Structure 1
Amino acid sequence: PLFVWNTIQGTTTPWLATEWTFSEDNLALTFTLQEGVTWSDGTPFTANDVAFTWNLLRDNEALPGNGARTALPRLASVEASDDLTVVFTFSEAFTIAQYEIGQQLIVPQHIFEAVEDPVTYANEEPVGTGPFTEVARFENQIFELHANPNYWQEGKPAIRGLRLPAYPSNDAIQLAALNGEVDWHANFIPDIEAVYVGEDPENHNYWFPPTGAVVHLYLNTTIAPFDNPDVRKANSLALNRDQIVEIAMYGYTHPADATGLSDAFEDWKVEQALAADWVSYDPDRANEMLDTAGLMMDGDVRKTADGTELAFELNVVSGWSDWVQSCDIMARNLEEVGIRATVQPYDQTTWQTRVQNGDFTMSIGWSSQGATIFNFYRGVMSTETVYPVGESGTENWHRFGSEEADTLIASFAATSDEAEQRDIASQLQVMYAEQAPAIPLFPGPQWGEFNSSRFEGFPSEEDPYALLSTYANERGIVLTTITPKSAS
């Protein structure tokens, strides 16, 4: 990428670009690139590669990119003015696009310009600018990447390669970690102090900051009665988040608040939204709100006016033990207020297809998060992210859209003035707190564990130079920082 967003530091780290600036009217964004960078095959990396990548994405809608689709509709052109300068011109001011543009992975023009169909291209001999580019092994359950022989950061990486095995479940990864087979991983381990650290206190380490996107309970708002915000709030009031966090999540995080934002945006949160009380545990009030909504108790289950029982599947990914246990607790909580939620595990592919297509009533799931609050509120409240049921949407699975939110989100993206953005962010938080488009459960712990018996220099709570999670944007920073353990 051109730069790396460092979540834990709240800063951008220059990567393939050294600097970037907006024009005064916010309609042009200019990147200046690093000198002396080459692709792994020795070909010079230039601004032409950047422009080519973005034009390739524009001309091939089936290529998802990694964030590019948010910026592309607002881009009028992308042009290289010289080998080290690329200019992105916008048809409308859209300042948050700098994060999507900066983090988009770049492809080599000299390779891809000869590819007939980039959507189906297998890229079996990849050429890149990253620290690890050489495919030494590629099998169903494992692959190896060796160091880039022409890497541009002098003296890096300090390690020869990466071996990346695939595991079917948290339990399988945990066993491999305990056996010393994994040096760096990012997954849920129950009671980690006893189970993992206790096995080798000198070398087994972890760090789980609650700065990941907030995990939500999604209620499909296209299905009554979940089109009613009071019913959604009543469901929320029925949930014992303290119990979920302490039992299912082993105290690794904390209950979410009514902003829906994680701890990464702690200094953006406003009191008016934080004061909303529908994220507290209050089953008596939940019962009152459900009664008021006309969902009356009949025996031990509530029914709609036409006699339909409030009985639903609660979808979750099988093998994700923390989420499965969270759903078990929620199902028991909801039963106490007359809502029957049957926990239904699916393999990840099936689960993801169902939620993205809107083929569910209740599901646990992650939310969107980026460098600003834009990504979260766009993903949870914008009509731009609402797709008809049956069509796949990568976010807004619950199909909630507000034109008022659209206006605020567009205004946020149009300005580069932080004071203006904070004012708009406060309005979006209040709207979320009033509408309860989805039910926030807890900020996602950003899992990260490492075994220091062979390698050192990993980030930690004591040295938080980047997130420890292997799936975090800043993993490139970590991979160019860690070194083999010294002989001493």
Structure 2
Amino acid sequence: MRKGLFSVLTIIISGALLLSACSSPASTPAAESGKTEAGATTSEQTTTPAAGSITSLVKATDLAKLPENAKKRTDTIIVGLTDPSGAFTPYFLQSGYDGNVTSVLFSSLVKVDEKGLPIPGLAEKWDISEDQLTYTYHLRKDLKFSDGSPLTAEDVAFTWTILHDKAYDGQYDILSTNVKGGKAYKEGKATSIEGIKVIDPLTISVTVEKVNATALQVLGSDVLSKAYYGKDYKFGQLDYIKNLHSTPLGNGPYKLDKFIPGQEVRFVANENYYAGKPETEHFIYKTTEGDAFQFIETGEQDYGSFSATTDNIDRLQKLGFLNLEPYTASNYGYLQFNMEHEALKDKRVRQALTYGLDRQTIYVDSNQGAATIANIPTQQSSWSYTEEGINPYKYDPEKAKQLLDEAGWKEGTDGIREKDGKKLSVHFIGSKKKGTDIFIAVAKENYAAIGVQLEAEQFADFNAQIAKFESGDYDLVSFSTSILGDPSDGVLSFVDGEVKGYDNPKVKELYAKGLATTDIEERKAIYKELYQVINEDAPYIFTSYSKLILAYNGRIENIKINPSQGISASLPEWTLK
């Protein structure tokens, strides 16, 4: 994710769903800890699938098996969520899980579809000037906050203004859009932001200083009530908002009813929601820790998500009362090279280490098929995704040996390659988990076969791994991205110095070009070329996209999972038949 830019996340952690949240920046890697997220929906599978094989929606086979407590619920749907902190004000979240809550409480000016393309939200339409520097948002008529007060262009202007305040220290980087006069306001050199113009209660325009393809969506995010969140606002003083975190005033499909830390977050339908009051009166995030499968099996929870292993699929199918749906993660895993180290400066060595690693065995076969191999820095659901001109780097030890020979690394008496008196050794760091254990076991064998020694170091604490990473004491490190939105999110690390020792002017040129136009077809062509360049350079060994299985109560209808918005996009339409 672009530094500081909020993304809509859909991470599943042991069946607890992270739907919409503040992400870690793209230039800050995420732990590769089995965390994955809900992806695109698929067509319905009408025939009974073979055990452990699901390629499309499979409906519940026997709702009579549904546990009694789930049968008795007539106006409430329960979904699992890792415990949020209670900071329920957009832009001021203290954890990603707080974002799950705010995604239910607030709506944005602009939403995104399954491909990540903008669609109307609170704004029914928008205009972009011919020079692509001025955005005019046209709000829907009669918009209201959940207390019935009107939502107007003044509220949008207020939201943009406080995000430019010098006291704002959240992760939302509105400055990246370069709103005209925004920097001057932040520095206290102006009392208002020159580029923001309230035209009338339903119309607001904003002018940026240079073309930015992400501006429409960055500026088109959640809207805060000026009357509620701004009544005590003074430039340079935003601490008062902390006192409002637990009593949010939103404009989304639901209102906060009650937050019981460690147990649940309760919501009630918002009768003032612009798209109409939600079909189901009550919604609950169950935040109690425990076995996600048990919560689904006993009916305590209506919805969960699981790694798409054969064992999980078989176990879920046998329950009979669940709809099952496959989807693929909207992030990617990767192994990052430290190219400040001499051996790894040579592209041929990096390519050899990619060819010489059996990714199929490590990431797909060992996980019972619950993953697919990744080769470019974007998610498969993105409109920018392509395989054209992309080297799949299929496991090929002989090709790896050839490249190492060309790079001058010759096999020593002990089988390990040497050059200029130094052995070819790779120091790997990663998290302490089963997947890393499998990687180390297979990679040691793979690399020994091509004359490379692998030394591995594992960390139980992610912060310790990050500290080691930041010290530069590694050759190869295992991470995954946060959930990706715009294609620029997935490639930022290759231009901002995050990938140590990597500096390709062509990548920087294409990255800038990709942001300098709002034309999707132009951007597709630019990102296609950019992906090809990165794929050839091999600054990462791209690993995999996680495959998941969504399991939910067969009584629930109208569930549609948006890779960029998770369940929040269709939640207002969910019904219990």
Q: Which residue of 2 aligns with 1:393?
A: none
C-alpha deviation, 1:423, in angstroms: 3.2
Sort the Cα spacing of 1:232 and 1:160 in 2 relative to 1 into closer, same or farther, 3 A: same
In structure 2, how many angstroms separate the alpha carbons of the residues matched to 1:37 and 1:358? Answer: 51
C-alpha deviation, 1:479, in angstroms: 1.1
In structure 2, give the amino acid aligned to 1:85.
Answer: T
Q: Which residue of 2 aligns with 1:232?
A: 350
C-alpha deviation, 1:266, in angstroms: 7.0
Q: Which residue of 1 aligns with 2:213?
A: 95
Q: Deviations over 1:99-120 (max 9, x none)?
A: 3233x22322223322533598
| Contact 2:352–2:400 (8 Å) recurs in 1 | yes
Q: Does 2:127 align with 1:21?
A: yes
Q: Does 2:277 align with 1:155?
A: yes
Sort the Cα spacing of 1:339 and 1:206 in 2 relative to 1 into closer, same or farther, 3 A: farther
In structure 2, how many angstroms separate the alpha carbons of the residues matched to 1:16 and 1:233? Answer: 47
Q: What SS does the aligned partner of 1:263 have?
A: coil
Counterpart among 190, 203, 217 of residue 309 in structure 2: 190
Sort the Cα spacing of 1:159 and 1:223 in 2 relative to 1 into closer, same or farther, 3 A: farther
Q: Which residue of 2 aligns with 1:3?
A: 110
Q: Does 2:165 align with 1:63?
A: no
Q: What SS does the aligned partner of 1:254 have?
A: strand
Deviation larger for 290-299 or 22-31: 290-299
Sort the Cα spacing of 1:157 and 1:328 in 2 relative to 1 into closer, same or farther, 3 A: farther
Deviation larger for 329-338 or 237-246: 329-338
Q: Does 2:428 align with 1:313?
A: yes
Q: Does 2:577 align with 1:475?
A: no
Q: Which residue of 1 aligns with 2:373?
A: 255
C-alpha deviation, 1:192, in angstroms: 4.9
Sort the Cα spacing of 1:145 and 1:351 in 2 relative to 1 into closer, same or farther, 3 A: farther
In structure 1, how many angstroms separate the alpha carbons of the residues matched to 2:270 and 2:419? Answer: 62
C-alpha deviation, 1:358, in angstroms: 6.2
Q: What SS does the aligned partner of 1:137 have?
A: strand
Q: Does 2:271 align with 1:125?
A: no
Q: Does 2:401 align with 1:287?
A: yes
Q: Which residue of 1 aligns with 2:50?
A: none
In structure 2, give the amino acid aligned to 1:406.
Answer: K
Q: What SS does the aligned partner of 2:272 have?
A: coil
In structure 1, how many angstroms separate the alpha carbons of the residues matched to 2:478 and 2:240? Answer: 31
Q: Does 2:453 align with 1:339?
A: yes
Q: Deviations over 1:456-488 (max 9, x none)?
A: 3223xxxxxx43x6xx4243222112112x2xx
In structure 1, give the amino acid aligned to 2:359.
Answer: R
Sort the Cα spacing of 1:12 and 1:286 in 2 relative to 1 into closer, same or farther, 3 A: same
C-alpha deviation, 1:417, in angstroms: 3.2
Q: Deviations over 1:78-137 (max 9, x none)?
A: 3322221121211011133223233x2232222332253359825121121122331512
| Contact 1:458–1:482 (8 Å) recurs in 2 | yes
Q: What RMSD, in angstroms, separates the aligned Cα atoms of the two structures?
A: 3.3
In structure 2, give the amino acid aligned to 1:111.
Answer: Y
Q: What SS does the aligned partner of 2:332 have?
A: strand
Q: Does 2:201 align with 1:83?
A: yes
Q: Deviations over 1:14-67 (max 9, x none)?
A: 2211111210110101111122222223322122222222222222452212x6
Q: What SS does the aligned partner of 1:94 have?
A: coil
Q: Which residue of 2 aligns with 1:45?
A: 151
In structure 2, give the amino acid aligned to 1:28.
Answer: T
In structure 2, how many angstroms separate the alpha carbons of the residues matched to 1:399 and 1:166? Answer: 44
Give the fraction of aligned pairs with identical amino acids, expressed as a percent: 19
In structure 1, give the amino acid aligned to 2:343.
Answer: P
Counterpart among 541, 553, 572 of residue 452 in structure 1: 553
Q: Deviations over 1:334-384 (max 9, x none)?
A: 34432314251434455566657867543222236655433222x2421xx
In structure 1, give the amino acid aligned to 2:113.
Answer: N
Bigger relative contact order, structure 1 or 2, given CA contacts below 8 A and separation 6+? Answer: 2
| Contact 1:231–1:289 (8 Å) recurs in 2 | yes
Q: Deviations over 1:117-160 (max 9, x none)?
A: 35982512112112233151231464334433533322315240
| Contact 1:184–1:451 (8 Å) recurs in 2 | yes
Sort the Cα spacing of 1:86 and 1:186 in 2 relative to 1 into closer, same or farther, 3 A: farther
In structure 1, how many angstroms separate the alpha carbons of the residues matched to 2:251 and 2:212? Answer: 28
Sort the Cα spacing of 1:425 and 1:136 in 2 relative to 1 into closer, same or farther, 3 A: same
Give the 5 Å matches for 1:243-392: 243-257=361-375, 259-265=376-382, 269=386, 271=388, 273-274=389-390, 276=391, 279-298=393-412, 299=414, 301-302=416-417, 305=420, 307=422, 310-316=425-431, 318=432, 325-326=438-439, 328-337=441-450, 338-342=452-456, 344-348=458-462, 350-351=464-465, 361-367=475-481, 370-377=484-491, 379-382=492-495, 385-386=496-497
C-alpha deviation, 1:254, in angstroms: 2.3
Sort the Cα spacing of 1:161 and 1:247 in 2 relative to 1 into closer, same or farther, 3 A: same
In structure 1, how many angstroms separate the alpha carbons of the residues matched to 2:526 and 2:558? Answer: 40
Sort the Cα spacing of 1:167 and 1:208 in 2 relative to 1 into closer, same or farther, 3 A: farther
Question: Which residues of structure 2 form unaligned runs of 5+?
Answer: 1-107, 183-194
C-alpha deviation, 1:413, in angstroms: 1.8
In structure 2, give the amino acid aligned to 1:33.
Answer: L
In structure 1, how many angstroms separate the alpha carbons of the residues matched to 2:248 and 2:471? Answer: 32
In structure 1, how many angstroms separate the alpha carbons of the residues matched to 2:440 and 2:181? Answer: 42
In structure 1, how many angstroms separate the alpha carbons of the residues matched to 2:441 and 2:265? Answer: 35
In structure 2, how many angstroms separate the alpha carbons of the residues matched to 1:151 and 1:357? Answer: 49
In structure 2, how many angstroms separate the alpha carbons of the residues matched to 1:419 and 1:336? Answer: 44
Q: Does 2:331 align with 1:209?
A: no
In structure 1, give the amino acid aligned to 2:111.
Answer: V
Taking structure 1 as the reference length, the TM-score comes to: 0.80
Question: Which residues of structure 1 form unaligned runs of 5+?
Answer: 387-395, 460-465
In structure 2, how many angstroms separate the alpha carbons of the residues matched to 1:304 and 1:156? Answer: 67
Q: What SS does the aligned partner of 1:207 have?
A: strand
In structure 1, how many angstroms separate the alpha carbons of the residues matched to 2:200 and 2:139? Answer: 10
Q: Which residue of 2 aligns with 1:390?
A: none
Give the 5 Å matches for 1:140-151: 140=262, 142-148=264-270, 150-151=272-273
In structure 1, how many angstroms separate the alpha carbons of the residues matched to 2:455 and 2:117? Answer: 42
Taking structure 2 as the reference length, the TM-score comes to: 0.69
Sort the Cα spacing of 1:118 and 1:196 in 2 relative to 1 into closer, same or farther, 3 A: farther
| Contact 2:178–2:210 (8 Å) recurs in 1 | no
Q: Which residue of 2 aligns with 1:442?
A: 544
Q: Deviations over 1:393-431 (max 9, x none)?
A: xxx455634332222222222223344323322321221
In structure 2, how many angstroms separate the alpha carbons of the residues matched to 1:217 and 1:195? Answer: 31
| Contact 1:248–1:323 (8 Å) recurs in 2 | no
Q: Which residue of 2 aligns with 1:463?
A: none
In structure 1, give the amino acid aligned to 2:572.
Answer: T
